[in-house]
Amino acid sequence: MNESWKVEAWRILTLVVATLLLGTGINNYTLAALFGALIYLAWHLHSVARLNTWLSAYQTTEIPESTGVWGRVYDRLRGMTRHHQQDINALHRRLERYQQTTRAFPEGAVTLGRNDEIELINEAATSLLGLKNPQDLGSPITNLVRDPKFVRYMQDGRYSEALEIASPINRNMRMSLRLVPYGDANGKLLLVRNISRLHKLEEIRRDFIANVSHEMKSPLTVIKGYVESMVEDTSEFGLKWTKALSQVDQQTDRMCRMVDDLLQLSNLETGPAEKPTLVDMPSLIRSVHSEAIELSNSRHDIDLDVDESIYVAGNFNQLYSALSNLVFNAVQYTPEHGQIKIGWHLDQDNYANFSVRDTGPGIAHEHLPRLTERFYRVDTARSRELGGTGLGLAIVKHVLQRHGGSLVIDSELGQGSTFTCVFPAQRVVDRREPKSSV
């Protein structure tokens, strides 16, 4: 028997002896026993009351002292609270270290809770986003960073790509924002990077390409004019020069196409957003199909499957350029007797998909992520031989970005390729639904 139970046993024994003596004294053992039991009960009730008082303020008051069975209970509770306090201290230390790490982060970091409320902000985030620590803790991030692009990014839930916006406190500062979901309680980490320098360099590069292309356009047009008239009338030149002139003509054509493509790309990148108009996609696709048949010159079987009711809010010329680029590529790269299937449909999310599937050579997986970069070609010699500029897919990507869409490339070497332009539901107008409007 341990010490506290012995003390309790002695206490009960003393009470029994006192009750017996009292019973003998008053000559009534029942009354004495009742009295003894009441005293014992009162002592226990008193101990329960002390325990209750301590429990209601256990963080600030000391555990009461006692002997016997209650002493044992209090000792156990004391041990438990000590362990509990040690755990809390360890957690505090860990949290403090975590906060120090995020504070030392050169990039901005904001931890968001289930309803996008701010839980933690580091110093870099306060200076990039203009958030105040601790005043803004608990407020939804979209109440403080109100850029409509950011609000849409938060709502869309497609966090695989970063978002680029101007800083709310300095319009000249460009920031890249990236949301990283974590844990199973819908938590998110918002990473913020100052990319002003990178943005400036990108701007210089874009301006440089646009200026060079622009400057080259006029001399090229003059050269082309002269070469064309010389090719038309070769009587003045010998056979030797006729061949050379025809090559000059071809190369001038290629350079003109390249300059045009570069100018188109720089317009897509920097030009102001135009007001979208309702584009009759079925008839646009039929025109592209007819041109593809002409280009193919019966070398391919070109199949068309179009949902006649799907229109898109956008820019006709840009869409024509993107879709024809994909279809003409399929015609150019697919060998004779190959098949090309052009499709235009709504998917289950009401996104409109324009797809071009071919039975051509296909593209190895390692090339796919880089295919939409300017001048990236899988087979440079083949592309040049076909008169390609290496800018077609970059143009397609930018046109789709301007329409809020994306390009999906699916290809296996030796198995053909499928290029799909995906247009978001907001851009799609289904003519079957009378209420749709641009």
Q: Summarize as ranges the residues that interact with ligand ADP (CB under 6 A).
A: 325, 329-330, 333, 358, 360-361, 363, 371, 377-379, 383, 388-393, 417
- Tabulate helix, strand, coil % of the chain (nearest 5): 55, 20, 30
CB of 236 to ligand ADP, least distance (A): 35
Complex with ligand ADP: residue 144 or 368, whichever CB lies closer: 368
- Write the DSSP symbol of residue 172: T
CB of 96 to ligand ADP, least distance (A): 53
- Pairwise CA distance, residues 274 & 272, whole Å: 6
Complex with ligand ADP: residue 36 or 362, whichever CB lies closer: 362
Where do the DSSP E strands lie in 308-404? 310-314, 339-346, 352-358
CB of 157 to ligand ADP, least distance (A): 31
- Pairwise CA distance, residues 134 & 61, whole Å: 30
- Regarding beta strands 174-182 and 187-194, do their DSSP bridges make them parallel or antiparallel, or are they unpaired? antiparallel
Residue 423: C-alpha distances to residues 67, 161, 311, 426, 437 (Å)? 78, 17, 10, 8, 16
CB of 267 to ligand ADP, least distance (A): 17
Which residue in this structure is represented by tokens 């109440």? 143
Q: Which amino acid is at 229?
A: S
Complex with ligand ADP: residue 281 or 330, whichever CB lies closer: 330
CB of 316 to ligand ADP, least distance (A): 21
Complex with ligand ADP: residue 360 or 405, whichever CB lies closer: 360
Complex with ligand ADP: residue 125 or 330, whichever CB lies closer: 330
Complex with ligand ADP: residue 107 or 379, whichever CB lies closer: 379
- Pairwise CA distance, residues 418 & 330, whole Å: 9
CB of 364 to ligand ADP, least distance (A): 10
- Pairwise CA distance, residues 287 & 28, whole Å: 117
